[in-house]
Amino acid sequence: MISSIILSFLMFFTILIFVVFSNGFAPAAIVWGAFLFFLYVRMTFSERKRTGSGTIYRRIFQTIFAVGFCIAFISDLYAERGSMAITNQAMSNSELPFCHIAIPQVLIPLLITKSIIFPARITGHYAAVASMFLIWLICTITIGRGWCSWVCFYGGWEDGFSRIGKKRRINLLPKNKEIREFSFAFLFFIALASLCELACVYCEWFCPFKLVTEYSPVNSIPSLIATILFVGLFVGLVIVLPILTKKRTQCSALCPFGAFASLTDRLSFFAIKIDTDKCAGCMKCATACPFCAIDIKTIQDKKGRPELTCAKCGECIGACPNKAISYEFRFNLKKGGCNCGSKSSAPKTKFGRVIQELLQPAQLFRYAAFTFSVIMSSGFMVKALNLIFSPLAAIISGGAK
């Protein structure tokens, strides 16, 4: 209990600094900060009562953040360009916001040509190349592919739509392995194509989120074909299939950043562990996993961990009836996990027990992941809330007069 209170206080000050202070105590910042603190406290104390039950608050945050990000982003585009269309001037001046999905596409050309093939500024912009690379590096070392389930600007769209239906209409479990293999094959194709074209091929032809961010103007046959692809992929992979499968299908099969983050995830501090002695083979974890990272072979072969594409969302932890799944420090996996919960390792003093609980992998991971969420959402969400509530306030004040 004390450790949860301590972490809640730390999160309070984190929110105060990055959300409230940084936005000049604006009313929207206070509202968003209070909402974030509510989510974290509810998540933390819910986890104390039942492990894995706090995932609902992660889902709520990511869905709201994804929609709020697009509202704020589109507003910025209209303020700068007058539309969502990419202008020739923005392209020639390298003024496009650098997207994290472009990172695996620009790395190989960067090493070979010593130049960034994405038309964005290196520094001096709110989404400059240098800042996004720095965020990616810090994220890779700490939460790894946890970015996809906790911080991604776009993932909340799929997360939200996947929760609409009560029942799963299409079962992808028998195809989990094939979906993972396709995601890595597609990453290889995109990286190779981007090198050959010296352009971000995924961004130009396959990104479904062009529909809710920025897009190239439709002024030729190729741009018309690209637009049809964008619309089809958004409707199919972001809306329809998540509703039917209750999976994040675009994240699992098509996103090159997700596949790339899976490869670099081994550099991170945290991982998900499956206790094969407790596991009863019920497959509820595989059914619950939105990233197709657990399948029948994972459980039958007693691998002791999800597959490479695990995004550490925690859905499998909440679904497991035997409490066989947990967060773990990666450096403890080969040693059989942490034994700090055993009676032989329990500290004798109250202070020692509090420190031990503070250092639990699950506690630290949730705090680190939610801190990323707080920082990444601080500017966009405050702007989105202002855009949403300013007209309402004007209507109310006008009606009062």
Express each pLDDT in 381-390 by its tens digit: 999 999 988 7
In DSSP terms, which residues pair with 325 in a beta bridge? 274
Residues 286, 298 contacting (CB under 8 angstroms) = yes
Residues 242, 169 contacting (CB under 8 angstroms) = no
Q: What is the pLDDT of residue 334?
A: 65
Give me the torsion for CA of 165, 169, 174, 177, rounded to 10°: -50
Q: What is the pLDDT of residue 54?
A: 87
Cα 327 from Cα 307, distance rounded (Å): 14
Q: Specify burial of residue 295 (Cβ count, 10 A radius: 0-12, 13-18, 19+).
A: buried
Q: What is the pLDDT of residue 342?
A: 43
Q: Which sequence spans correspond to the domains of the chain?
A: 1-69+351-401, 85-338
Reading the chain (401 residues) residue by residue, the pLDDT tens digits are 788 888 999 999 999 999 999 999 999 999 999 999 999 999 998 887 888 788 999 999 999 999 999 999 999 888 888 888 887 777 777 778 888 999 999 999 999 988 888 888 888 777 788 988 999 999 999 999 999 999 998 999 999 999 998 889 999 888 899 999 999 999 999 999 999 999 999 999 999 999 888 888 888 898 899 899 999 999 999 999 999 999 999 999 999 999 999 999 999 999 999 999 999 999 999 999 999 999 889 999 999 999 999 999 999 999 999 999 999 998 887 655 555 444 445 676 777 777 777 788 999 999 999 999 999 999 899 999 999 887 765 666 555 55
Query: What are 125-133's contacts with CB under 8 Å, separation 24+?
Result: 125/95, 125/97, 125/98, 126/97, 126/379, 127/97, 127/98, 127/99, 128/98, 129/98, 132/98, 132/99, 132/100, 132/103, 133/103
In DSSP terms, which residues pair with 274 in a beta bridge? 325
First and final C-alpha spacing in the chain: 50
Eight-class DSSP state of 277? T
Alpha-carbon dihedral sign for residues 180, 142, 140, 36:
positive
Best CA proximity match to 72, nearest among 396, 392, 390 = 390
Best CA proximity match to 320, nearest among 360, 279, 277 = 279
Q: What is the pLDDT of residue 341?
A: 44
Cα 289 from Cα 280, distance rounded (Å): 17
CB-CB neighbours of 126 under 10 Å: 11
Q: What is the pLDDT of residue 288?
A: 92
Tens of pLDDT, residues 271-322: 999 999 999 999 999 999 999 999 889 999 999 999 999 999 999 999 999 9
Residues 354, 39 contacting (CB under 8 angstroms) = no
Q: What is the pLDDT of residue 394?
A: 60
Q: What is the pLDDT of residue 346?
A: 64
Best CA proximity match to 122, nearest among 105, 146, 106, 138 = 106
C-alpha pair distances (Å), 195 with each of 98, 110, 224: 18, 9, 24
Q: What is the pLDDT of residue 399?
A: 56
pTM, 2 dp: 0.88
Q: What is the pLDDT of residue 211?
A: 87
